[in-house]
Structures are given as structure tokens and as C-alpha cells.
């Protein structure tokens, strides 16, 4: 340390506490960075790298950004996955003795951003803690922008990570004990920053932890709250008490299934457009949009709660005009959740508070409109809307309609709100008029027509009189201030008073306005819990009216729920594809899954619509259980506890897993976790490996699900040999997607009918794709050749006892000559430990057995 200047020593002491962050060190009008921070930041931010003398032999690398434009640079660093510690000057440089006192006032991290380009208005912005003890895993996830915090316990590491992936967490906080392998796994699967917080003491957050009884969730939530307070270093009054939830209270849709079904983003572009969320999002408020996404992520299991939502949706559908008026009013409601967060955080401005006032002004109208609609549940919701009348009136009395963005330049507070402020404003606005009137009065009093009042920065305001008129001045009232060649300048007690008022008025006016605004902001803090509760009510109303608007526009029907667990969908449709390709061009299909039809084996050509049929069935179930109408003419559904999908193929390059391994892992997860109340969608299982391996795995999975699980299953395949399973499996039914061949070309009818498909039309699909004619002709020749060879000699397949063969086996002449079994030979065969043999030993043993068998 001693080799550096006192200022650099101060920098290094602060930096030692924030090694994992870029330190923005305030020097005058700039935030400066030094040493390694400067080298890295200059590259990331593309700013000039310079150097300075820091007292050592070598010059110190340095770069900086102006403090007034630092926000954009900070956002770029956060977007790149870094943290930024803001170190401010904490005393007036004019009064400092030695090095100015500085300290870190906030640490901005990917999970604690409050505003900026990285914050999407209709998406939550979560950070989370991850705790592990014995065989339990707990997470606590919080959105600092809204103050909500949720926590849950999971039985496996994978289940907890899938939940964090569903939250889309930007940052994961740990106790620092994780090894590099665990950190790499979390970072690879979540693309989240890993942070460390050692404090887990719960007493400091007794109120926020009041709802929690499980010790691991208390520990996870306490660690989260400690981290937020340590990094943000300010009031976080908007943080809500941690809410525990049980994952079994909602339909469980794992990460793979959410991705495969494209619930909130598409697989190809990772964007919202083309997803179920995109189709449904007719919400008019940002908070309603966030709640809609949460509902899609967690469909309900309680039939009572589902029917409550459906009842409100039905009421909205029947009240078209009131609903349209409601939608217009909701447009005027700003983001109450995030406004409350900004108030607590201390970065709210006057425009934000005007938005809050306007939002509160809409609540009485919303209440009246809901009560006009004849619906019991809507009346109950209307009665829960709290207009916060006293806050609305205070904001209306205090703030002008269009205040400036800055809170330190004045011009925010209404005239008449504060007497002293009005005086300052009057002095500022009317200062010139006062001076002109005073000049006129002085000319009358003295009789000097050339007398004038002037101003300069050094002497301020003055009365200027020519030397020829000095004798006309009243003695004792004029105080000489400056003598010039042909005139003299004076001040009077009245002018001094006006000068003080005029010169100080503007500065004092700005100071007083900021003080009054700060008092108003503190007053608003008292209403934060009420505002957050109001936001929840308005969000729910917004989502339910959105369901009604979409359901009516897209011709959806209200679903019913079966007691016997059967499913009957009449003319079901894929809602997103229907919207994209135009409703007139979409072919609807029935889906019956009841006794004898628990497993549907779907065959048919590529591009015929097998995957669409499977996905639409899952989406109809999800829509029903979030409380929305469904894309069908009629729908009677069971309430599914889980949905599992294996649709599409994708390598997991991050973890080094092939397409086939990903397929098997997803299939394993479904088979291990599914119950008789689950829905399983398997598309082309086994296609990632050899034909016979694939068929064997597919058959084994179908049999296991059919016999051991009993879940409703849609299983599409190109292995036509599997269709014979219908004869041996009582609850399996073959269905196929129809296509016809016309003039050598395939025409897809997209209609699902009972029975198995007769062929795959693979070459016809290749023709549609535009492959060269020579390739298609050669493929057709090879196909005929393969089919002829297959008819002459079909490879034998080993079949377990009691299990159907994929192919009919034709014994050879030698095989037919064997009349009786050889017990000794069989006993010898069974005695070998094949797994312990070397390849050569196995070959020799097989040769000896063959010789003995030929005898």
C-alpha cells in the first residue's frame, strides 16, 4: 500500500471488499476504474484506456465514464453478466481534510436491477437462493422490482433447478461452499450469475419470514433478504413476506415440457411470438402480463378454483360492452407493483407519482363498472379494490400534471401547496417587475430621470446615478457601493431586501421543492402494502378479461371436468397454429381417451400433423387448468397432475449430451415421475439410434406405461411394426393421421382416424421439400430393393417370453430339424458369466457351443 498515493490506497481498500464487481470510483464528475477493472471495462465498454501516476514506479491503468451518463454503461456491464459497485463521495470536497471520504452506496447485479433495458415490463426479474440439506433442496426467488418473494422445497436437485429455470433467474445466491462442478452445472443450465452470501440469521427478518415453518425455506429466504440489504444499502420497504408454496398444488410441467410445448417462448427463436403466451396476452397492464405468465407456468389442480376463474370468464364474455369499457380503463392503470418498488427504493420521480395518482383515479370507475356486470365473483373482486383515496387526494394536491423527470431542478409542486415555496416562486417569476417598479419609485422620490437599477455578478443589484445628480440623493438612505469615472453606484435597504430575495429564491425554491417531494415520497411509503394488494386485484381482473377477449375472438369453448377420468375433445385445435395459418385452413380433430384408449399409438407420414395433434391436446389441458376456455367445440377433461413431453430433437451441447441421450433422459424423467393422472406425449421415441434398438425401446416404454403407470399417453411413431401391440395391450388403440396419394404426390388430410397407417410416404415428403429428381428416383429404386430383400429374409429378433415379436420369424431348415432340447447344453449355456468374458473368450465359447449343437 505504501507505494501508492492516499487516494489509490483508498481505492484499493474499497476494492478489496468488492472483488467480484467493477468498482465505479467517483472522482469529481467521473466514475473512474483502475488496474484490472480498467483493462477489462475498456474492452467491454469500448472506451479509451488511459493511465495515471498513482505513486508507484509504473503508471496505473485507468478508464472512466461521466457520472451523468453512467447508467447506460452500467446496464451494458450487467447485461454481460457482471456486477457494479457504486462508490460515491460522502463529503463536500471544499470541507474535506485530506482524501475525500468515499464509500459504496449500492451494488448493482444481474438480479437486483431496478430499471433499464434489461427490465421487461411484462416479465418478472428474479434472483434466487438455493439451499441443500440431506435429501431436501429449497429455493427462494424474489423480484426486487415488485417485492414479491416465493419459496418451496423439492426432493431432487433436478426438480429445484427446473423450477429456477421456470423463474428465469438472473442470479443464484449460495453459501459459498459449492464446488466448481456444481457452479458450472448451475451456470450452464440457467445462464445465471453465482453470488455468495454467508449470513442466514433469521431474527432480523422475523416479519418477512412469518409465513414459513420449514427450516430450510426460512434459511433460504433469510439468505436472500440479507443479500438484498447488503448489496442495495437502502430501504427495501416494498419487500413482501416470503410466501411458501407446494409444487404438488399445481400441475407440474417440467422445463423440457414447457420448452417443447412452447408455452412462453418458441424453441427456434427463444422469443415470445409464436408461443401460447403470445396468443393469450391481451392484458392491458404490465402487472397483468406478468401474472398471466405465472398462471401459464402453474396451472391449477383445484377444480373449485378453476371453475371460479371460468365463471368470471363466462361473465365477461356475456358482458361485451362493459368488458370493452373495462379494457379501455385498464389501459390507464400503470404498473402499481413496480411503482411501489421504486418508491421504497428511493428512485421514484415526480412523473412516477403522477402515474400512481392517475392509476388510483381509475379504481373507482373500475369498481363501478364491475358492479354493473351481473356476477357474484366480480362483485367480490370489486369490493376488494382499494382506491387509497387519501393518497390520491394528497398526490393530486401536491403535484402538477406534467412534472420534469429530474427531482432536483424544481417545477414539480403545485402552486398553493406550500406558502414559503409560493413566496420563492413569486420572487423568481416577478423579480424583473419588482426591479422595474423600484426604479420608477426611486426616480419619483429623487427627481432624477436618468436613475437606473442595474446588475452584475460581482456587486449584484445597484442604483446608478450620474455625478451631476448626486446632490439630489437623500442623505443616509443610499449606501455607496462603487465609484466610476462619470457615475456612482449605491444600494438601499429596499434593494438589498429585494436582491436577497431574488438571488436566493431560485436556489431555495429548488431545495424546498426537493424537500417537499422527499416528504411526499416518504408519505407514499406508508401505502405500499395497500398498493401491492390493489395491484394483485387489478392483475387478476386484467388476466380474466384477457381470457374472455381471446376466448370470444378465437371461438373457444368452456371446458368441463370428468369424474371418471375420461377425456373427450370434439373438434380440438392447436390455438397458436390456428392463429398463424388462419382459422379457415386449420383441420380440427377429436381426441377420445377413455377405457380401452388410455394409450393412443399415432402413425402417419411426416408433416401430416402428428406432433400438432399431440401438442394441441396438451395445450387444451393447460388452458383448461389455468381457467381459460379451450380451442374446441366441446371438451370434457380430467384434471392432470403432470404433463410430460418428448417432442423434437436437440443436442445439449453445454453438457455434452447427444440428441439420443437427451431423448432418453427426458423419457426417463417422464416414466419415473408420471402417475395415472398424468399426460405423456412421446414423439418418435427411439429414432436417434439404430432401427432395432429404437423399436425395442419404444415397445418397452409403451408396455411399461400401459401396464405399470396407466397415464394417458399419446405415442407417435414411424415403427409400423408396433401397431400389432393393439392386439395384446387392452388399453392401447391405434390411430393415424390420414394422407392420400394422387398422381404420384402425397396430399395430407390432417384428419386423425382410428386404425394404423399403411405407409410413411417419406419419399413423397422429400419430393415436397424440393429434392432433385435424380435423388428421388434413386431413393425410390433403393426403397423397392430394400422392401424386396426384407420380404425374402427378415432379420430375427429375440423375443422375451410373453412379449410380442416385432417380426414374424421363419425358421431355417436346420432349425426345423431340431426335434428336442438338450438340457445339458442349456445348463452349460446358463452357467456362463458373459459380462466377465473377454471378447476372445466369448468367441471361443460360442464356437465350442456351436460345434456341440451341430452334433
Does pLDDT of 812 surpass 70? no
The stretch 52-75 carries a mean pLDDT of 91
Choose among 53, 54, 77: nearest CA to 65.
77
Does pLDDT of 838 surpass 70? no
Q: What are phi and psi of 545, to 5 degrees?
A: -70, -30
Distance CA 786, CA 793 (A): 10
Q: Domain 281-388+527-553, what architecture?
A: Orthogonal Bundle (1.10)
Is residue 172 within 8 A of residue 128, CB to CB? The reply is yes
Query: 419-508 maps to which CATH number?
Result: 1.10.1420.10
pLDDT digits (tens, 9 = 90+) for 227-246: 999 999 988 999 999 999 99
Q: Which residues are CB-neighbours of 483 under 8 A, at least 6 positions away? A: 489
The stretch 45-57 carries a mean pLDDT of 90
Dihedral angle of Cα 430, 436, 442, 443, to the nearest 10 degrees = -160
Q: Does the 6-108 domain belong in CATH 3.40.1170.10? A: yes
- Does residue 62 have a known ligand-binding role? no
Mean pLDDT (the chain, rounded) = 88
Query: 560-785 maps to which CATH number?
Result: 3.40.50.300
- CA distances in angstroms from 767 to 602, 687, 750, 779, listed in the order given: 23, 22, 18, 11
* Choice among 185-199, 385-399, 528-542 with the minimum mean pLDDT: 185-199
Helix ranges (DSSP H) in 126-235: 157-167, 180-190, 215-232
Distance CA 575, CA 632 (A): 9
Choose among 121, 128, 163: nearest CA to 142.
128
- Does residue 179 have a known ligand-binding role? no
**Residue 131 or residue 256, greater confidence:** 131
Strand partners, 683: 716
Distance CA 522, CA 339 (A): 14
pLDDT digits (tens, 9 = 90+) for 418-475: 999 998 888 788 887 888 888 999 999 899 999 999 988 788 889 999 999 998 988 8
pLDDT digits (tens, 9 = 90+) for 613-633: 999 999 999 999 999 999 999
- Does residue 604 have a known ligand-binding role? yes
Q: Which grid cell sits at 62?
A: 485507468
Dihedral angle of Cα 419, 423, 424, 429, to the nearest 10 degrees = 130
* Length of the chain counted residue by residue: 855
Q: Which residues are CB-neighbours of 802 under 8 A, at least 6 positions away? A: none
Q: Which helix (H) or strand (E) holds 61?
A: strand 60-66
- Where does the chain hold its CATH 3.40.50.300 domain(s)? 560-785
With b for 16 or more beta-carbon neighbours within 10 A and e for fewer, the 387-421 pattern comes to bbeebbebbeebbeeebeeebeebebbeeebbeeb
DSSP structure class, residue 796: P
Confidence of residue 267 (pLDDT cuts 50, 70, 90): confident
Does pLDDT of 547 surpass 90? yes
- Does residue 607 have a known ligand-binding role? yes
- Does residue 486 have a known ligand-binding role? no
Q: Which grid cell sits at 422?
A: 409560493
Work out the number of other CB atoms within 10 angstroms of the CB of residue 497: 10
Distance CA 505, CA 495 (A): 15
* Packing angle, helices 493-525 and 350-372, rounded to 10: 50
Does pLDDT of 810 surpass 60? no
Q: Which residues are CB-neighbours of 684 under 8 A, at least 6 positions away? A: 716, 717, 718
Is residue 141 within 8 A of residue 182, CB to CB? The reply is no
**Secondary structure class of 114 (helix, strand, coil):** coil
Selected from 3.30.420.110, 1.10.10.10, 3.40.50.1370, 3.40.50.720, the CATH number assigned to the domain covering 126-249 reads 3.30.420.110
- For CA atoms 541, 547, 552, 557, give the dihedral sign: negative
Distance CA 642, CA 622 (A): 10
- Does residue 606 have a known ligand-binding role? yes
Does pLDDT of 594 surpass 70? yes
- Does residue 608 have a known ligand-binding role? yes
pLDDT on residue 622: 98
Distance CA 461, CA 459 (A): 7
- Where does the chain hold its CATH 3.40.1170.10 domain(s)? 6-108
The stretch 120-125 carries a mean pLDDT of 93
Amino acid at each position: 500500500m505504501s507505494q501508492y498515493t492516499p487516494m489509490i490506497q483508498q481505492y484499493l481498500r474499497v476494492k478489496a471488499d468488492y472483488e467480484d464487481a467493477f468498482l465505479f470510483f467517483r472522482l469529481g464528475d467521473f466514475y473512474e476504474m483502475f488496474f484490472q477493472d480498467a483493462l477489462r471495462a475498456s474492452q467491454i465498454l469500448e472506451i479509451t484506456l488511459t493511465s495515471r501516476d498513482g505513486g508507484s514506479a509504473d503508471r496505473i491503468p485507468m478508464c472512466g465514464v461521466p457520472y451523468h451518463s453512467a447508467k447506460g454503461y452500467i446496464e451494458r456491464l450487467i447485461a454481460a453478466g457482471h456486477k457494479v459497485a457504486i462508490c460515491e463521495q460522502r463529503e463536500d470536497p471544499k470541507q474535506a481534510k485530506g482524501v475525500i471520504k468515499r464509500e459504496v452506496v449500492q451494488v448493482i447485479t444481474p438480479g437486483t436491477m431496478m430499471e433499464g433495458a434489461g427490465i421487461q415490463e411484462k416479465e418478472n426479474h428474479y434472483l434466487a437462493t438455493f439451499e441443500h440439506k440431506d435429501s431436501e433442496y429449497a429455493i427462494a426467488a424474489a423480484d426486487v422490482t415488485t417485492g414479491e418473494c416465493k419459496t418451496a422445497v423439492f426432493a431432487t436437485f433436478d426438480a429445484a433447478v427446473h423450477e429456477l429455470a421456470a423463474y428465469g433467474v438472473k442470479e443464484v445466491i449460495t453459501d459459498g461452499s459449492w464446488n466448481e462442478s456444481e457452479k458450472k452445472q448451475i451456470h450452464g443450465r440457467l445462464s445465471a450469475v453465482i453470488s455468495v452470501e454467508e449470513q442466514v440469521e433469521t431474527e432480523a427478518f422475523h416479519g418477512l419470514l412469518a409465513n414459513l415453518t420449514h427450516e430450510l425455506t426460512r434459511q433460504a429466504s433469510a439468505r436472500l433478504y440479507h443479500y438484498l440489504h447488503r448489496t442495495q444499502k437502502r430501504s427495501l420497504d416494498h419487500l413482501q413476506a416470503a410466501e411458501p408454496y407446494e409444487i404438488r398444488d399445481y400441475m407440474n410441467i417440467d422445463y423440457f415440457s414447457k420448452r417443447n410445448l412452447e408455452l412462453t417462448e418458441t424453441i427456434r427463436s427463444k422469443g415470445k411470438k409464436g408461443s401460447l403466451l403470445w396468443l393469450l396476452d391481451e392484458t392491458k397492464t404490465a402487472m397483468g402480463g406478468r401474472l398471466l405468465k405465472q398462471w401459464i407456468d402453474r396451472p391449477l389442480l383445484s377444480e373449485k378454483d378453476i371453475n371460479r376463474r371460468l365463471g368470471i370468464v363466462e361473465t365477461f364474455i356475456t358482458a361485451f360492452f362493459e368488458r370493452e369499457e373495462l379494457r379501455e380503463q385498464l389501459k390507464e392503470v400503470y404498473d402499481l407493483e413496480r411503482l411501489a418498488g421504486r418508491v421504497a427504493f428511493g428512485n421514484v420521480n415526480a412523473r412516477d407519482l403522477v402515474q400512481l395518482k392517475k392509476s388510483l383515479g381509475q379504481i373507482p370507475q373500475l369498481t363501478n363498472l364491475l358492479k354493473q356486470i351481473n356476477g357474484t365473483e366480480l362483485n367480490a373482486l370489486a369490493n376488494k379494490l382499494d382506491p387509497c383515496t387519501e393518497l390520491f387526494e394528497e398526490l393530486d394536491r401536491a403535484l402538477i400534471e406534467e412534472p420534469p423527470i429530474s427531482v432536483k431542478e424544481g417545477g414539480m409542486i403545485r402552486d398553493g401547496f406550500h406558502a414559503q415555496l409560493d413566496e420563492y416562486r413569486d420572487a423568481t417569476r416577478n423579480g424583473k417587475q419588482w426591479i422595474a417598479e423600484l426604479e420608477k419609485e426611486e426616480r419619483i422620490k429623487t427627481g432624477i430621470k436618468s436613475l437606473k437599477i442595474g446588475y452584475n455578478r460581482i456587486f449584484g443589484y445597484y442604483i446608478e446615478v450620474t455625478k451631476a445628480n448626486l446632490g439630489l440623493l437623500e442623505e443616509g438612505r443610499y449606501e455607496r457601493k462603487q465609484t466610476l469615472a462619470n457615475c456612482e453606484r449605491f444600494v438601499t435597504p429596499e434593494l438589498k431586501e429585494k436582491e436577497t430575495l431574488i438571488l436566493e429564491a431560485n436556489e431555495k425554491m429548488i431545495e424546498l421543492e426537493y424537500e417537499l417531494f422527499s416528504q411526499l415520497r416518504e408519505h407514499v411509503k406508508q401505502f405500499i402494502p395497500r398498493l401491492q394488494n390493489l395491484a394483485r386485484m387489478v392483475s387478476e381482473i386484467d388476466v380474466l378479461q384477457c381470457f374472455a377477449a381471446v376466448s370470444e375472438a378465437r371461438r373457444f369453448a368452456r371446458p368441463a371436468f370428468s369424474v371418471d377420468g375420461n377425456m373427450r375433445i370434439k373438434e380440438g385445435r392447436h390455438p397458436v397454429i390456428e392463429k398463424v395459418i388462419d382459422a379457415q385452413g386449420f383441420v380440427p380433430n377429436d381426441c377420445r381417451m377413455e377405457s380401452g384408449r388410455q394409450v393412443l399409438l399415432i402413425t402417419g407420414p411426416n408433416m401430416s400433423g402428428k406432433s400438432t395433434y399431440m401438442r394441441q391436446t396438451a395445450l387444451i389441458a393447460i388452458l383448461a387448468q389455468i381457467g381459460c376456455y379451450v380451442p374446441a367445440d366441446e371438451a370434457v377433461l380430467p384434471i392432470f397432475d403432470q404433463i410430460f413431453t418428448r417432442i423434437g430433437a436437440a443436442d445439449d451441447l453445454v453438457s455434452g449430451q447427444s440428441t439420443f441421450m437427451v431423448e432418453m433422459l427426458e423419457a426417463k424423467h417422464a416414466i419415473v415421475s408420471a402417475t395415472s393422472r398424468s399426460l405423456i406425449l412421446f414423439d418418435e421415441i427411439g429414432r436417434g439410434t439404430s432401427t432395432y434398438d429404437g423399436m425395442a425401446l419404444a415397445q418397452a416404454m409403451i408396455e411399461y406405461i400401459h401396464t405399470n403407470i396407466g397415464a394417458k399417453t399419446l405415442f407417435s411413431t414411424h415403427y409400423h411394426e408396433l401397431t400389432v401391440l393393439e392386439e395384446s395391450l387392452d388399453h392401447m388403440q391405434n390411430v393415424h393421421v390420414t394422407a392420400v396419394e394422387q398422381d404420384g404426390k402425397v396430399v395430407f388430410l390432417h384428419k386423425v382416424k382410428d386404425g394404423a397407417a399403411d405407409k410413411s410416404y417419406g419419399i413423397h415428403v422429400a419430393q415436397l421439400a424440393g429434392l432433385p429428381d435424380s435423388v428421388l428416383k434413386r431413393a425410390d429404386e433403393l426403397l423397392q430393393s430394400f422392401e424386396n430383400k426384407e420380404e425374402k429374409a427378415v432379420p430375427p429378433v429375440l423375443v422375451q417370453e410373453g412379449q410380442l415379436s416385432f417380426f414374424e420369424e421363419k425358421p431355417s431348415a436346420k432349425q426345423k430339424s431340431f426335434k428336442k432340447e438338450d438340457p445339458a447344453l442349456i445348463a452349460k449355456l446358463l452357467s456362463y458369466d458373459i459380462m466377465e468374458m473377454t471378447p476372445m473368450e466369448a468367441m471361443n465359447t460360442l464356437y465350442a457351443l456351436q460345434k456341440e449343437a451341430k452334433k
